[in-house]
Amino acid sequence: MMIDHPTLGPRDAAEFVYMGCASLINRPDWQAEDALQQFIDYGYQRDNPSGAHRELWFHEGGDRSWLVVTRDTVTHAITQVELARDVARREGRSK
Amino acid sequence: MTQTNRLQGGMIDRSRTLSFRFDGKAFQGHPGDTLASALLANDVRLMGRSFKYHRPRGPMTAGSEEPNAIVELRTGARQEPNTRATTAELFDGLVANSQNRWPSLRFDAMGVNDWLSPFFAAGFYYKTFMWPAKFWEKLYEPMIRRAAGLGSVSFEPDPDSYDKGFLYCDLLVIGGGPAGLATALRAGEAGARVILADEDFTLGGRLNAETHEVAGMAGHAWAAQAVARLADMPNVRVMPRTTILGAFDHGTYGALERVSDHLAVPEKGKPRQILWRIYSKHALLAAGATERPIAFENNDRPGIMLAGAVRSYVNRWAVTPAQNVAIFTNNDDGHRTATDLRTRGVNVAAVIDTRPDAPDGGDFEVIRGGVITNTSGRLGLTGIEVRTADGGQRKISCGALGVSGGWNPNVALTCHQGGRPAWNTDIAAFVPGSTLPPNMSVAGAANGVFTTHGAFHTGAKAASQILDHLGLSAPAPDLPEAEDGPVNLTPFWHVKDAKRAWVDQQNDVTAKDVKLAHQENFVSVEHLKRYTTLGMATDQGKTSNMAGLAIMAEVAGKSIPEVGTTMFRPPYTPTAIGAFAGRSRDKDFRPVRKTPSHVWAEEKGAVFVEVGMWLRAQWFPQPGETHWRESVDREVLQTRKSVGICDVTTLGKIDVQGADAADFLNRIYCNGFAKLPVGKTRYGLMLREDGIAMDDGTAARLADDHFVVTTTTANAVGVYRHMEFVRQCLFPDMDVQLISTTEAWAQFAVAGPNARKLLRKVVDDDYDVSNEGFPFMACAEITVCGGLRARLFRISFSGELAYEIAVPTRYGDAMIRKLMQAGEEFDVVPYGTEALGVMRIEKGHAAGNELNGTTTALNLGMGRMVSKKKDSIGSTLSEREGLNEDDALKLVGFKPVDNSKPVPAGSHLMTKGSQVDAAHDQGYVTSACYSPNLGCHIGIGFLKSGHARTGEVIRLVSPLTGIDHEVEVVSAHFVDPEGERLRA
């Protein structure tokens, strides 16, 4: 597989380490009333779609950036690659 | 005279003669020959025995699809089993042996299986070896294993090397026949970066095997000119002897280049084979087609081969398989073989054509509407029996028979990304389906276009489209004139009512086996394959699958497309494991990391142990020590008595800098770091988000905005990855930067009552190392040995007064020598990982065995460290009820009641008097050692309710190793539980 890194261009998937669903970016607020339940859902309840999936890849053999890769789990077609930090900011994780 | 079957002409170099041996007998051939063509030239048709029934077999094909003529090539360490004689290039001195026969190819004792064949039908093993069950392991399996398998391996290390390589191109052309050559020429001339790969050693595909003219010259001559033109283009790479093994994601292709297989021994410095990974923008599949046989009674005798293969041997290699040849066909193509044979002066006994309206051939007899009902000749064909259209029987004598049932496009690579082929009624064959791997096109016979004219035109068209995509332009091509004869074929798969009509010749599957499988309700094609083993041999059914499907469709009353095909998977042809391993073998299997003190430790005679990729000194034997424990006990006792030194460079080191560094560590560690003063170090426990312990280590604050974090050796990579995840994905705007500095610093632990005195001798005078000036858990940036920058941490894994001193890695060797020299007056001792382990167990410190992916801070006795006042990774889920039960496992120590007994790690704990089973399990021992300080074995581990049971005598059991004795529950801190030594 080839991952089109947003700053480095197309790189072989062998340079990356896969982690899982990009929903892991949305870590719950520890002070929420139902924080425990939210963390259980965060940790254990994840989608496993057949089709487009946003997932986290770490460029371990490269620039050490975490990426959010949108990949079709059936065809492996990759439609979008973003820096996870940009996604996290967009999703309100700035302090 | 030798080479009695050699004809005039052909693409062989008659100016040179090559000598080779087959089954001990000497033969001669010429450059350009394959082993099969050279043997046929010498009138050898018998080349192997079949897998199951040990039936005599000869070559059926002239290419990589060969099911029968597979041999052991070379001898000694280079012996290679299951090599196809039809693709093995002849070289001088080649030695080949037939396989799967004993004592000889002509007389094979296991041929008795053939007489017993009524018992060996489909599913024989499943049905026969079911009962009694206990016979399986001791009797049936060893018996089957002995009888199974084809060739044998040498059991010697392969003396050759295998490389891996990476290539990039705009267009990968797969196959160097007319379609591939036309495409490569067009794209190459337009300036595209082209790779043209072909499995053969001479490009040209069927142009080399046919007599058709191209542009007014012999087809093979045109091909040679085209290859020469391509070779002159700097943007084109022509790769003969290169098989494209698979189509992978995003235009990546795997290829195997046989660099040296055609030589007796690889040239100096050259690998045997190269496994290429080719990154392509576009790919054109021009892999041609494979002829398929017709099944009939005894259709497997040596001398019976595909009609197209006969043409290849006659035209390319100037060899006829016999002096008198018959043809059996359902299409016009078979007639070509007869014509080519006649042109070369070979007698054609008859052409048996299943079609009642077959054309008139020429100067040979055509038996229209006839079928072959049997053949004769034990070790080679001597004759055939024909049933004519009017029901009459005829016997025809012949030494070879060319069979043609039509051609199957080579669609395999179009299916590697999940595509399925589509049925084309005109040619009664599967062609590439609508879903191709992205950016792949197909041209020529691979797409079901069987004429040379069609190959040129479809190739040129594909090239135009690809060039458009690439934004390149080229003038309309001037395509050469070539034959454009129609395909006239009436499907005919097998002659009915045969007792043994072979469908899969490599796995000995008959038409009857296919019917039996259906009768026994194996209705899915995938089940048929596995039950009968049809298509599961090394040839993957390239010549047999189609007939199997056709027979299955017939008995099921379905059409062939309704039955469907099995999956095509890489690799396209068998590939040596050595090629996949490449250079990653023996000591190069994975990288080795050496510590900065490695050379010094070698000089001291250290015994090394692999820790991850690191080699660490395990212990340092002294003269006279005969057992490893003598060395380890001495190292431990001397360290605790005076001072010892250990290389701890392998622990992961991560530099954390930035205004938010302290805040960041507060999130990473479950315990607090915000208030850690500059110049202090703190133990930190990292949890996973699910509350399980991930890793532990220390963080030293060198400045307000600068920490040095250590990790365990094994988790260094994973912890860094985790910290980057937290930094980038969870807290993207924290002002903090991370970098791994594990390799940048050489670090040594100096431990023991005399550690300070020793260090005083190397630390520069400007720095105070007194207990008051540099107390327990202090850290500082200092200089040593007169100005060398260094870092000093007062931390202790051993439980002694201890320091860790770090210097830039390039000074690591000098530092260990300096420390050892400075320590001479204290009888300093170097210690290895074993003594390190003993001392940490004596002290009750958790390590990898305790942080084993199932344990929480509570289990480790650090439950109160998890701060509730802040958010850290894992803190919320560590509060889950199930992880906090009253009788939760807790880390405690164990001492044997009988001091002579061991406390092996992995043993389980049972309450005295209770049953020994999983339901009554009370915990387990995680780490154990012999403690020279206590004079007995000790262990630490997890016990339900932990410390509350201190003093209880419990049972230690290990049913597997027969351990069953009593141990006492004690504190895990065996040595200096008050921690007075490390604060001294």
User: Per the CB < 8 Å rule, is A95 touching B877?
Assistant: no
> Could you tell me the pTM of the whole model?
0.91
**Helix, strand or coil, per DSSP, at residue B931:** strand
**CATH number among 3.30.2270.10, 2.60.40.1120, 3.40.190.10, 3.40.50.970, domain A1-25+50-95:** 3.30.2270.10
Q: What is the distance in angstroms between the Cα of B713 and the nearest Cα belonging to chain A?
A: 18
Of A2, A36, A84, the CB nearest to B879: A36
Tokens of B138: 């001791």
| Contacts across the A-B interface (CB distance below 8 Å) | 81
Looking at residue B950, its pLDDT comes to 97
Looking at residue B152, its pLDDT comes to 82
- List the single best residue of B717, B728, B870, B880 to mutate versus A (max A Cβ within 10 A): B728
Return the residue of A nearest to B247 by Cα: A1
Nearest to B630 by CA among B416, B889, B857, B834: B834
CB contacts of B417 in chain A (<8 Å) are 75
User: Per the CB < 8 Å rule, is A19 touching B725?
Assistant: yes
**A37: alpha, beta or left, given left = phi > 0 and alpha = psi -120 to 50?**
alpha
**Helix, strand or coil, per DSSP, at residue A64:** coil
Looking at residue B360, its pLDDT comes to 84
Compute the CA torsion angle B76, B81, B87, B89 (nearest 10 deg).
0
**Helix, strand or coil, per DSSP, at residue B366:** strand
User: Per the CB < 8 Å rule, is A27 touching B251?
Assistant: no
In chain A, which among 39-78 make CB contacts under 8 A with chain B? 39-40, 42-43, 56, 58, 60, 64-66, 74-78
pLDDT at residue B204 tops 80: yes
Which regions in chain A score pLDDT beneath 50?
none
Q: Estimate to the nearest angstrom the gap between the alpha carbon of B231 and the chain centroid.
A: 33
Name B503's Cβ contacts closer than 8 Å, sequence gap at least 6.
B295, B494, B509, B510, B511, B513, B514, B534, B544, B547, B548, B551
Q: Which amino acid is residue B786, in one-letter code?
A: G
Contact B513, B555 (CB under 8 A): no
For B388-508, strand residue ranges (E) read 393-397, 400-404, 407-409, 422-424, 429-431, 440-442, 502-504
User: Terminal CA-to-CA distance of chain A, rounded, Å?
Assistant: 35
- List the single best residue of A11, A39, A63 to mutate versus B (max B Cβ within 10 A): A39
Interstrand relation of B802-808 and B788-793 (parallel, antiparallel or unpaired): antiparallel
Compute the CA torsion angle B350, B354, B357, B361 (nearest 10 deg).
-30
CB contacts of B279 in chain A (<8 Å) are 2, 12
Tokens of B894: 């164990």
Per-residue pLDDT tens over the stretch B359-403: 987 789 999 999 999 999 999 999 999 999 999 999 999 999 999
Q: What is the distance in angstroms between the Cα of A53 and the nearest Cα belonging to chain B?
A: 16
Of A12, A76, A84, the CB nearest to B729: A84
pLDDT at residue B93 tops 70: yes
Helices (H) and strands (E) in chain B, counts: 22, 50
User: Per the CB < 8 Å rule, is A1 touching B733?
Assistant: no
Cis peptide before B103 (omega within 30 of 0): yes
CB contacts of A58 in chain B (<8 Å) are 721, 724-725
What are the b/e assignments for B415-448, b being 16+ CB within 10 Å?
A: bbbebbbebeeebbbbbbeeebbebbbbbbbbbb
Cis peptide before B59 (omega within 30 of 0): no
Tokens of B684: 């930190």
- List the single best residue of B876, B877, B880, B884 to mutate versus A (max A Cβ within 10 A): B876
Chain B residues interacting with chain A (CB cutoff of 8 angstroms) = 248-252, 279, 417-418, 438, 689-690, 717, 721, 724-725, 728-734, 871, 875-877, 879-880
Strand partners, B963: B958
Per-residue pLDDT tens over the stretch B253-310: 999 999 999 999 999 999 999 999 999 999 999 999 999 999 999 999 999 999 999 9
Strand partners, B440: B283
User: Per the CB < 8 Å rule, is B729 touching A77?
Assistant: no
User: Per the CB < 8 Å rule, is B876 touching A85?
Assistant: no
Per-residue pLDDT tens over the stretch B26-55: 999 999 999 999 999 999 999 998 888 889
What percentage of chain B carries pLDDT values higher than 90? Answer: 89
Give Rg (Cα) of chain A: 14
Q: What is the distance in angstroms between the Cα of B654 and the nearest Cα belonging to chain A?
A: 14
Give Rg (Cα) of chain B: 38
Is the minimum CB–CB distance between A36 and chain B shorter than 8 Å? Answer: yes
> Token pair 């064959």 is at which residue?
B429
In degrees and rounded to multiples of 5, residue B670 shows phi and psi of -75, -25
Give the integer Cα–Cα distance in Å for B277 and A13: 13
Give the integer Cα–Cα distance in Å for B308 and B288: 13
Per-residue pLDDT tens over the stretch B741-770: 999 999 999 999 999 999 999 999 999 999
pLDDT at residue B415 tops 60: yes
User: Per the CB < 8 Å rule, is B871 touching A78?
Assistant: no
Q: What is the DSSP string of B372-398?
A: EEEEE-SSS--EEEEE-TTS-EEEEE-
Give the integer Cα–Cα distance in Å for B524 and B535: 14
Looking at residue B582, its pLDDT comes to 96
Return the residue of A nearest to B717 by Cα: A60
Interstrand relation of B422-424 and B366-368 (parallel, antiparallel or unpaired): unpaired
User: Per the CB < 8 Å rule, is A17 touching B721?
Assistant: yes
Burial class (CB in 10 A: 0-12, 13-18, 19+), B661: buried
| Helical pair B511-519 and B525-532, crossing angle rounded to 10 deg | 120
Q: Which is it for the CA torsion B523, B524, B525, B526, positive or negative?
A: negative
Nearest to B22 by CA among B97, B77, B134, B93: B97
Contact B530, B537 (CB under 8 A): no
Contact B703, B677 (CB under 8 A): no
Q: What is the DSSP string of B889-935?
A: EEEEEEEESSTTS---TT-EEE-TTS--SGGGEEEEEEEEEEETTTT
Q: How confident is the model at residue B127 (pLDDT cuts 50, 70, 90)?
A: low
Q: What is the distance in angstroms between the Cα of B248 and the nearest Cα belonging to chain A?
A: 8
Burial class (CB in 10 A: 0-12, 13-18, 19+), B679: middle
Contact B261, B152 (CB under 8 A): no
Sketch out chain B's domains with CATH numbers: 18-114 (3.10.20.440), 162-289+409-470 (3.50.50.60), 593-649+744-839 (3.30.1360.120), 652-740 (3.30.70.1400), 885-984 (2.40.30.110)
CB contacts of B876 in chain A (<8 Å) are 28, 30, 35-36, 39
Return the residue of B nearest to A22 by Cα: B729
Compute the CA torsion angle B881, B886, B891, B893 (nearest 10 deg).
-170
Q: What is the distance in angstroms between the Cα of B334 and the nearest Cα belonging to chain A?
A: 41
Contact B562, B552 (CB under 8 A): no
Give the integer Cα–Cα distance in Å for B260 and B830: 51
Secondary structure in 3-state letters for B330-364? CECHHHHHHHHHHHCCCEEEEEEECCCCCCCCECE
Of B417, B721, B875, the CB nearest to A58: B721
Looking at residue B146, its pLDDT comes to 61
Per-residue pLDDT tens over the stretch B944-971: 999 999 999 999 999 889 999 999 999 9
Contact B610, B597 (CB under 8 A): no
